């Protein structure tokens, strides 16, 4: 309940393309539920609630969605979006090995992944 209340009461991030012209943080469209749902899942998996509801964690997620909004409005390319998300995440990352795997994946360098053999052949 605390996680839901936190996001219902949260103000829409200023100058964020993802929440473009929205007045409520929680909107009835699925895309606006990503952060609250993933936060709840992470909590149920054992991550500390205070860390998940920290300004640092939530702002990082909002900044990543802002970059996704820029991509959606054609204000950046896919590569620029990935680079921006990488830069945002690298500064706060606790698991650089996992982050590097994500970077390889999103940059199309799947052969560098330790589990590349598990990926579909058609991608």
Report d(CA 4, CA 1) in Å as an integer: 5
What pLDDT, on a 0 to 100 scale, did the predictor assign at position 121? 55
The predicted-structure confidence for 23-65, as pLDDT tens digits, reads as follows 999 888 888 898 999 999 999 999 999 999 999 999 999 999 9
Which residue, 93, 28, 20, 33, is CA-closest to 60? Answer: 93
Report d(CA 91, CA 123) in Å as an integer: 29
The predicted-structure confidence for 103-115, as pLDDT tens digits, reads as follows 998 888 888 888 7
Report d(CA 40, CA 24) in Å as an integer: 19
The set of residues, in sequence order, having a beta carbon less than 8 Å from that of 8 and lying 6+ positions away, is 25, 26
Report d(CA 112, CA 105) in Å as an integer: 8
């Amino acid at each position: 309940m605390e996680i839901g209340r936190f996001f219902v009461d949260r103000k829409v991030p200023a100058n964020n393309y993802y929440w473009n012209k929205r007045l409520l943080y929680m909107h009835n469209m699925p895309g606006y539920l990503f952060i609250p749902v993933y936060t709840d899942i992470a909590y149920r998996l054992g991550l500390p609630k205070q860390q998940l509801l920290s300004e640092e964690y939530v702002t990082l997620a909002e900044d990543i969605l802002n970059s996704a909004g820029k991509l959606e409005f054609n204000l950046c390319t896919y590569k620029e979006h990935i680079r921006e998300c990488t830069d945002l995440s690298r500064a706060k990352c606790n698991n650089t090995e996992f982050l590097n795997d994500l970077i390889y994946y999103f940059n199309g360098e799947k052969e560098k992944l330790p589990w590349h053999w598990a990926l579909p052949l058609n991608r």
